[in-house]
Each structure stands twice: as structure tokens, then as C-alpha cells.
Structure 1
Amino acid sequence: MKSYKSIGTGIFVHSKVKIGKNVTIGQGSCIGFGDPNDGDLIIEDNVQIGAFCVIHFGAVIRDSAYIDHRCVIGFETEIGCNTQILSGKEVARKSKIGKNCIICGNVADRTIIEDDVTYHGEIAHSHRDANRNWDETEEPSPIIYRGSVVGVNAIIIGPRRIGPCAYIGAGEIVKTDIGEGIALIMGKQQTVKSLRGFIKPRCK
């Protein structure tokens, strides 16, 4: 394991964690949580991890990712290159986040978020049978395709497909798939092009 720069005290890094070059870890963070048998925890080069973060075994954090203070990264989760996980957010187990993303909402387990996505929403599983224990079943999770934007406090319910290049307005409730280049604003679906630059996804 290579050395890392620590900022503050109370940092725990398990001896089995694999760390690249120029990694910075903030005060009170736990790097290597849970069972080491869950898989290697790999942190690549130039990663910054803020204070009071918990990162589980089995996670992979790619080059130049930024994890802000008080974040939780679940086991078998992958965080792509140059992606930012903003303050206090959780990326739950087995989720996959692409490169150049901005994540400012909690990400439910097994969610897939492709490259160049800005995500400020929330994700809720359908949980159709409230009599079952929460962890008894693995419900399908959303896929948010490249270049899409999910606005502040928008809620995606169930295994929805969003995009590519879609735009979900703030506070929307998403119960259906949103196709390529479609905007959902005030409950109405329309093409992004029809809005004439009023809103913009991240597609180049």
C-alpha cells in the first residue's frame, strides 16, 4: 500500500486497502469498512476523500474522484474518474457511477449512472410488499444514461430508464421511463430542443 496524505486525526485505513499516488484522506474517515472478503478496496491516483467518510471493502474509486465530507460509499460500488460525490451523500452497495459526474443526492443500491450526469435527486425502490423485510428482496434499480440531469429533490421511483441527454426538473416525481433528449418539467414531457436553450442537459 502506498502512503497517503492525511488531513487531521482519527483516520483508519485497513492494511488491505490498495491506494494509488497523491491520495488525500480527511479527518475521522474510515477507509476499509466491513468484511475484507467483500473484495479489494481500490483507490486510484489523485483521489480526495473528505472528513468523516466511510468507504466499504469492494469499492473502486477511479483517478481524480472527489468524495466530500461525511459521505458513505457502499461495498462493490464504483466511482468513475473525475466524479464528485458531494457532502453527506451515500452511494449504496453495488452502484456504478461513470466519469465526470456530479452526485448531490443519495444513490440507491445497484443504480447505474453513466458518464457526464448531474444528479441532485433521490431514488426510491417500489417496495410493493410492505410486509416483507427491507433486505429480503433486491428490486431492480434505475439507469440514468449519459449526459442527463436530475434536478434537486426529484424522485425516481422504481427501475426507471432516464435519457440519454434527458432533463428532469427540480421536484418532479418520475414513475415512467424518460427517453433520449426528453425534458420532464411541471409534470409534462417535451423535447429538450423544443425548449430552445431554456434548460440544457450535459450532452456535448
Structure 2
Amino acid sequence: MALKSLYGPVEVAEGCLIGEQCTIGVPKESRLRAFQKGELTEQGSVVRLGERCLILNQVVIYEGVSISDGCVLEDRTRVGYDTRVGSDSRLIYGAYVCDRVTIGTRGRIAGFVCDAVVIGDDCTMMGDLVHEYTRPHEGWWEVDEPSPRIHDESVVGYGARAVGGVSIGPRSYVAAGATVTQDVPAEHVAVGVNDFTPIRDWSGKRLRSLIEHWSGAPEN
């Protein structure tokens, strides 16, 4: 059996454009292992690409992925198996999205997103969302560690890092380069290492427009 025959089927909606050198329906490792052992009995899960999506160049999409209407996957992005991407979201700057991830509507996603992360609506994530990886002696697949969760309207800035099963937001901002290993409460700004400030007490000017938007106050 040729490897290509292990790929999942692909359903492409009207108006979806796919660029050059894309690989769609890639089989997950468990099915490849079953094939090696002569135990493969199931077909790959369907990939669904919604209306008006732009899948640009050298994009890799694994089996079971669902990309909703109006999404853009920029060059060299990767989407792991059984991931769900909400409508009008963008995967940018070569985003590496692992398996079983959920991304809400109107997201802007870059960086590294580990398995089973949940990202809400209207979020920007440009850092790294990673597991603690505190039990490497128990094997690679045997341990299912808690994953970060990013709630609606929150931002994880460029080079920031959330570690383990932390919760961020809603309407919280993790500044570029910050590290969080604890929950970031709703409507807080995180800087440095676990240094949190309520948005009502934030004195910096650069986030003032965003904070006013979150608060529903008119911008000056």
C-alpha cells in the first residue's frame, strides 16, 4: 500500500483556494503504526475546508481537521489532527498547531500551540503554549498533560510563553516576552514572570486604546 492511500479524504467548499505544495489529510501517527503492524482497519478522518478559505503555500493539514469559512492559513503553517479552527481566523508566520486544538472565531494565531489547547473567540496568540513536561520518564504518548486555555478577547504577545494548564483571561494581555505558569485572571496584564496587574490599574499608555475597547469606553 502506498503511503498516499493512508491520507484522509478532503472536502473543499466553494470559493476555497489552495496554494502550491500543500499537503492535506496527512495520517496521524497511530494509523501509521497500525499500518506498519498490518492492523489498519479504519479510513482517515475527513478534512473539511470551508467557504472562502485561503490555504496558501507549503501548508500541512492532518486528518480530521475542520477549517471554518473565511479562514486564512499563511505559508508554512501546520495544523495537527482533529483540530477545529473557527470562522475568519488567521494562522500566520508559520504557526505550528499541534493535535486536537480548538481555535475560536476571528483568531490570529502564530507561534507554537501544544496538543489540546483551547483558544476562545477574538484572541491573538503569537507566543508559545506548552505543556509542563514534568514526567518524561513515563513515555511520549502515555501522558496527557493539562494544556493552556486562552479565553475570549485575550492576547499572548510575541515570544510570550504560557506553561501547563493555565487559564488566561478573558480580556487579558500577556506582554511580549512574558512567562506565565499561573492563571492570569480576567482583565489583567501580565509582564515578566507571573507579574499581573488589573487593567483598571494599568498606567502604561501603549495598551490604553485596547483597555478602553474592552471596557466599552470611547477612545480619545
Q: Please classify the TM superposition score into its range, dividing by the shorter chain length.
A: 0.7 to 0.9
The alpha carbon displacement at 1:101 in A equals 0.7
Aligned residue in 2 for 1:16: 9
- CA separation of 1:15/1:134 partners in 2, compared to 1, >3 Å: closer, same or farther? closer
Aligned residue in 2 for 1:184: 190
The alpha carbon displacement at 1:15 in A equals 7.9
State the one-letter code of the partner of 1:20: A
Aligned residue in 1 for 2:176: 170
Equivalent residues in 2 for 1:105-144, closer than 5 Å? 105-144=111-150
**What secondary structure does 1:189 align onto?**
strand
Q: 2:56 aligns with which of 36, 46, 50?
A: 50
**Runs of 5+ consecutive residues of structure 1 not aligned to the other structure:** 1-13
The alpha carbon displacement at 1:128 in A equals 1.1
The alpha carbon displacement at 1:52 in A equals 0.8
- CA separation of 1:194/1:15 partners in 2, compared to 1, >3 Å: closer, same or farther? closer
**What secondary structure does 2:190 align onto?**
strand
Of residues 14-23 and 58-67 in structure 1, the stretch that sits farther from structure 2 once superposed is: 14-23
State the one-letter code of the partner of 1:19: V
Q: 2:201 aligns with which of 189, 194, 201?
A: 194
The alpha carbon displacement at 1:163 in A equals 0.2
Q: 1:152 aligns with which of 136, 158, 166?
A: 158
**What secondary structure does 1:131 align onto?**
helix
For residues 167 and 138 of structure 2, the distance between their equivalents in structure 1, rounded to whole angstroms, comes to 26
Query: Residues 136-190 of structure 1: CA distance to partner in whole angstroms, max 9, x if unpaired?
Result: 2111111100000111111111000000000101111101000110111234211
- CA separation of 1:37/1:159 partners in 2, compared to 1, >3 Å: closer, same or farther? farther
CA RMSD of aligned residues (A): 1.8
State the one-letter code of the partner of 1:195: W
State the one-letter code of the partner of 2:23: C
Q: 1:68 aligns with which of 61, 70, 74?
A: 74
Equivalences, count: 191
Percent of aligned positions that are identical? 26
State the one-letter code of the partner of 2:19: G
Cα contact 2:161–2:180 (8 A) shared by 1: yes
State the one-letter code of the partner of 1:191: P
The alpha carbon displacement at 1:135 in A equals 2.2
TM-score by length of 2: 0.81
Query: Residues 77-123 of structure 1: CA distance to partner in whole angstroms, max 9, x if unpaired?
Result: 01111100003111111000000110121111100000000111102
